[in-house]
Structure 1
Amino acid sequence: MRERVLSTLAGLAIGDALGMPTEGKAPHDITPVTNFQAARGMPAGGVTDDTQQAVIMARLLIGNDGRIDPRRLADELLDWERDLRSRGIRGLLGPSTRAAVTAVAAGEPLEKAGRHGTTNGAAMRIAPVGIVNPPELPLLVDRVVEASWVTHNTGVALAGAAAVAAAVSAGIGGASREEATDCAIEAAELAARRGNWVAAGDVAARIRWARTMNPADIASLIGTSVATQESVPAAFAVLAHNPDPWEACRVAASLGGDTDTIASMAGAIAGACHGAGAFPEEAVRTVTEVNELPLPELADGLLKLRARN
């Protein structure tokens, strides 16, 4: 189980780093990704907010007995964003998280800050919640909502986050990718009834569709934007057609659009389901050293919490 937790965290960072140089590009402008590349002022293997926010989430869980306090999360995200700005780093925050933390900073009540959050920020950082909590529904969905509503309090965003968390949780428990995807679909169906309703495609239905579609159609039919109903099913589509975790991350990073987030979600789920040896040792070493990620420390802290649940 510890190897599965380590592979989850490593896969998240590896997918993020592989997709970092291609984020926002059109598919026809991307040479198929084979390894890490330097780009956007970042070194090869550098990660973005996908990994950085997941680390924030992991540390909050470890420091608060496995629960996320919404006020503390909002404060941590605000402090993190201020630190980025002080160092001249901009453009990392997604639209929903940026809008929510800006609203909180301006005095908006927490309960209102995330009411319009529909994009994939909740899903991209939710893997630690899946590590800590067994795949027991609807309790896991409750924990996902608790960890997400301050920035993403809509049914579509919560469904996407629940799908990723449930797949990770099931994988940590020994589930295959197919079994983890079944759990993800069930969790997405439950979470879609939570939060504010918005007009958006159904995440669970689109994950089902993703399993059977032609993988060449992922970008054109599912879509690869920051919209939760596109990026989360796209990650599951990649996993359905690419059983090797390292290959899945590289394929996701080559799709175009929000490649770093799609690849990070795919990497986290693939790592959870595959466990030891999911990714090349050199790739794990690169993302760990380049970004100074305390993966063993975080893995041990999260695993202790899961053992108590």
Structure 2
Amino acid sequence: MTAASIAEEPQAAASRLDSAHGALLGLALGDALGMPTQSMSPTEIAEDYGSIERLVDAGPRQRIAHGMRAGSITDDTEQALLLAQLLIDGDGHVDERAFASALINWERAMEAKGSLDLLGPSTKQAVQRILDGVPASESGRFGSTNGAAMRVAPIGIAVVPDDLDAFVDAVVEASAVTHNTSLGIASASAIGAAVSAGIQGGSIQDAVDTALAAARVGERRGHWVAGGSIAARGAWARDLLRATPVSEHATVLRDVIGTSVASQESVVATLALVAVSTDPWQTLCIAAELGGDTDTIAAMAGAVLGAVHGTELWPADAIECVNSVNSLDLVPIARQLLELRVR
């Protein structure tokens, strides 16, 4: 090993940590930007908030996050951090029974606080099946929405994308308890692999290309369910948005690609948004204005863009707000996930 390579090692490690921290920050920032607009229509969003350019309080017509302060995160970030801790505690593996129990406890805690920010449809059904005595290995056989993809960023930080079959194995372990379907696993594989490519030093194009390749592997896993291929739709949406004038991006995302909780819409919309991003913060603001599952789209996009760009392009005041409001300390989590990556 040369003196130059020895000198580069700490620099490379610092860069990876910044990317991992950037991914977790991007996840939380996107989640918080979309918190006040989630499940609202574009018209309601425009009337209540105007243009989303910063973190804002939940408005009068926000039902799920009613009364939440600007900068508050939702289930997207909370479940991702829950998964991160399980990965760390399990030395890189996720115990399905422990994950099921953690999800049940999380929702009960939310209900006790009077929160309406509860489990998504696929995760809720899986948790109910667990409560009914169905084994955790079978509980996620109907989960095809974006719940596994929204929380998968820690897998992207902890696992390298060099062997996509092995990478998808890790995604399956973290997803099967709630989303053990071809669509659920393909969508989580796509977002997780995009994050991992960013941590590896890849560009936006590298991240999206890796996402599509991982989705092709992931769609062969789990229980098959009907629906458009995440890989095929992702490539189509990326090319469509690239060929569309910037002024029409939001319209195409809403009306042609879709922004619902369906993986074939929200995850595909996220990949398209990331592929054309030139300003990460502005990308998240656009996502927050789309209508539909805004917090999840912005959270997934933020995780990928943060992995690619690191922390530098996230606004300092927004970082301070999100960290303060939610009592977040993400650097130690990022560091522990990276320790799993280099083993």
The partner residue of 1:179 within 185, 206, 217 is 206
Could you state the TM-score of these two structures normalised by the residue count of structure 1?
Answer: 0.97
Give 3-state SS (helix, strand or coil) of 1:24's partner. coil
Give 3-state SS (helix, strand or coil) of 2:111's partner. helix
Quick one: which amino acid aligns to residue 99 of structure 1? Answer: Q
1:49 match: 75
Could you state the TM-score of these two structures normalised by the residue count of structure 2?
Answer: 0.88
Q: Deviations over 1:96-132 (max 9, x none)?
A: 0011111112211112211110110000000000100
User: Does residue 105 of structure 2 align to residue 79 of structure 1?
Assistant: yes
1:142 match: 169
Alignment partners' CA distance in 2, 1:298 and 1:278: 20
The partner residue of 1:156 within 158, 171, 183 is 183
1:70 match: 96
Q: Deviations over 1:250-300 (max 9, x none)?
A: 111111100000000000000001113120111111111111112012111
The partner residue of 1:195 within 210, 222, 231 is 222
- CA RMSD in angstroms comes to 1.0
2:277 match: 242
- Report deviation, 1:196: 0.9
8 Å CA contact 2:201, 2:308 repeated in 1: yes
Give 3-state SS (helix, strand or coil) of 1:21's partner. helix
Q: Structure 1 regions of 5+ residues with no counterpart?
A: none
8 Å CA contact 1:270, 1:278 repeated in 2: no
Quick one: which amino acid aligns to residue 208 of structure 1? Answer: A
User: Does residue 260 of structure 2 align to residue 229 of structure 1?
Assistant: no
2:122 match: 96
Alignment partners' CA distance in 2, 1:105 and 1:287: 34
Alignment partners' CA distance in 2, 1:248 and 1:138: 30
Give 3-state SS (helix, strand or coil) of 1:55's partner. helix
Larger CA Rg, structure 1 vs 2: 2
User: Does residue 45 of structure 2 align to residue 30 of structure 1?
Assistant: yes
Structure 1 segments of 4 or more deviating over 4 A?
none
- Report deviation, 1:92: 2.3
8 Å CA contact 1:210, 1:240 repeated in 2: no
Q: Structure 2 regions of 5+ residues with no counterpart?
A: 1-15, 59-65
- Report deviation, 1:8: 0.2
Alignment partners' CA distance in 2, 1:82 and 1:294: 24
Q: Deviations over 1:130-184 (max 9, x none)?
A: 1000012111001001110010011011000000000000000100010111000
The partner residue of 2:136 within 107, 110, 131 is 110
